[in-house]
């Protein structure tokens, strides 16, 4: 097995992809940052295209995608969002975890790690 095949840690994978993308970027500074954020819109558009294709909503094209394609496109959105966040901060995991805790508390109420009293 190669290193890529054994890498299942989300954060290590995001750091590796970020480093690869960062060394290959044609622009620097704010332009590079803005384009990294705009990449999210492109990926979300691909989700929409896959859903339309999976449901056969375009009569001219018919069914062109599967729900597995939609899943893949959704994964691309998540990966792209995490790479964009990594572009803003090297503390990606901490920022994401902190935000997820806030969302969970807003949605599900505060959690007590000690359990019920």
Q: Which two tokens stand for residue 22?
A: 């960062």
Alpha-carbon gap, residue 58 to 63, rounded angstroms: 8
List, as own/partner pairs, every contact residues 48-52 make where C-beta atoms lie below 8 angstroms and the sequence separation is at least 24, other chains included. 49/73
Per-residue model confidence (pLDDT) at position 111: 64
| Contact residues for 89 (Cβ-Cβ < 8 A; gap 6+) | 95
Structure tokens at 21: 């993308």
45-96 pLDDT tens trace: 999 999 999 999 999 999 999 999 999 999 999 999 999 999 999 999 999 9
Helices (H), the chain: 3-6, 10-24, 29-55, 67-88, 92-108
pTM for this prediction? 0.82
pLDDT recorded at residue 68 = 98
- pLDDT tens, residue by residue, 6-53: 557 999 999 999 999 999 888 888 999 999 999 999 999 999 999 999
pLDDT at residue 114 is higher than 90: no
């Amino acid at each position: 097995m190669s290193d890529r095949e054994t890498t299942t840690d989300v954060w290590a994978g995001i750091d590796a992809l970020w480093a690869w993308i960062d060394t290959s970027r044609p622009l620097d500074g704010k332009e590079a940052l803005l384009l990294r954020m705009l990449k999210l819109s492109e990926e979300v558009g691909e989700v929409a295209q896959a859903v339309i294709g999976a449901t056969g909503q375009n009569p001219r094209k018919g069914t062109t995608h599967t729900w597995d394609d939609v899943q893949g496109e959704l994964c691309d959105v998540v990966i792209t969002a995490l790479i964009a966040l990594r572009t803003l901060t090297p503390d990606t995991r901490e920022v994401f975890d902190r935000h997820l805790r806030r969302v969970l508390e807003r949605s599900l109420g505060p959690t007590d790690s000690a359990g019920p009293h």
